[in-house]
Amino acid sequence: MTKLEDYLEEIINIFHQYAVPVGDFYALSKGELKQLITKELANTIKNTKHQPTINKTFQELDANLDGQVMFSEFISLVASVQETGHENIHKH
C-alpha cells in the first residue's frame, strides 16, 4: 500500500478502536466519540473535555439523528480537522 492508503486505513482502525458493532456496521455513542476525540485529537480540537463541546460536535456529526455516529458521519469530522490543519499550514 502507499503511504496515503496506510493513513486512510489507520483512520478506519482508529474508528473501530472506539466504536461498537451495531448490526452489520460500527457506530460511536456520545461517550465513545468523547473518548476518541479526547485521546486521538487532544492537540487538534480545543475543549475536548468540555461536555458542551462534545455534545455540539456529536449533534453536528449525527446527520440522521439516530443517536449514533456512523463511520460515514465520522468522516466529516476527519475532513473538517484536515481542512483546518491545511488552512493553518498556509497561514505561517
Polymer length in residues for the chain: 92
CA 68/CA 74 separation, integer angstroms: 10
Give the pTM. Answer: 0.88
Each residue's pLDDT, cut to its tens digit, for the chain (92 residues) gives 999 999 999 999 999 999 999 988 999 999 999 999 999 988 887 767 778 888 899 999 999 999 999 999 999 999 998 998 888 888 86
Contact 1, 7 (CB under 8 A): no
Give pLDDT, residue 30: 94
Residue 86 has what pLDDT?
A: 86
Q: What is the pLDDT of residue 51?
A: 83
Q: In what order do the strands lie in the sheet with 20-22?
A: 20-22, 25-28, 69-70
pLDDT score of 92: 65
Residue 45 is classified by DSSP as S
CATH classification of the domain holding 31:
1.10.238.10
Instruction: Give the range of the structural domain holding residue 32, as residue numbers without chain letter.
Output: 3-91
Give the total number of structural domains in the chain. 1
